[in-house]
Structures are given as structure tokens and as C-alpha cells.
Amino acid sequence: MRLYLLDYFLTSLHLLIIGFNLLGWIWPATRRLHLWCVLLTAASWLGLGIWFGIGYCPITDWQWQVKSTLGEKDLPNSFIKYWVDKATGVDADPFVIDVVTALTFAVVFLLAIYHNFRKKWKAESR
């Protein structure tokens, strides 16, 4: 029972982080926290990715350990692919998922930078 709760918690945490990474730049009150969340995600995917493979996420690693213990097999490298497959019932191409994820993340990263530094840039240009 505890492993199912842990799996549920990790899924919720994943979805919360993904949702916040996608949308946190919208509200002025959350923009600074959003920037930090995006930077931590990038640090995981690229920094830890040096040792564990680009796109590495420790939460996915922990969750796949839980899911394996619960008997799930053939888990993909990506939590996003896992959920796209679950939501659509289709075995999505992992390359397409990775490209869409990377492009979306790049846009969100640029939005985070823009919204957190535009006032400074405007002040400097005057």
C-alpha cells in the first residue's frame, strides 16, 4: 500500500512540476520561483545528464524504481512519454516526445529569462 501511495505522490509531484514549468511564468507573483524551477530542471536534465544521460530526472528514476517494484515493466526513459502513452493509448515515438519536450522547454526557459530580467534591461537601455 505504501508503494502505491509513493507512486501516486511522485506522479502528482511530476505533474505539478511540469505544469508549473509550463505555466508559472504567466503570473507576476510566481515568476521568480518559476525561474528557479526551470533552472533546476535544466540543471537536472543537462548537469546530472552528464553522468546519467541527457534528460535525467531523479524523480523519474525514483518513480521507476517504485513502479518496477510494483511490477511495471518496459518503462520508457521519459515520464512525459509514459503519460502521453497512458493518456492517448498510443505508443508515441520517444524521439518526437523528446523533441517536443525540448522545444517547449526552450520556449519556457526564454519566457522565464525575459519576464525576470526585462525591467532590468529596459532600465539599462534608457
In this predicted model, what pLDDT tens digit does every residue of 29-71 receive, in sequence order? 999 999 999 999 999 999 998 999 999 999 999 999 999 999 9
pLDDT over 70 percentage in the chain = 94
Q: What is the mean pLDDT of residues 89-101?
A: 97
pLDDT at position 120 over 80: no
Q: What is the mean pLDDT of residues 75-79?
A: 96
**Calpha distance 112→49 (Å, rounded):** 22
Q: What is the mean pLDDT of residues 15-19?
A: 98
pLDDT at 122: 63
pLDDT over 90 percentage in the chain = 91
pLDDT at 125: 62
**Calpha distance 69→106 (Å, rounded):** 34
Going by C-alpha positions, the residue among 15, 41, 28 that lies closest to residue 108 is: 41
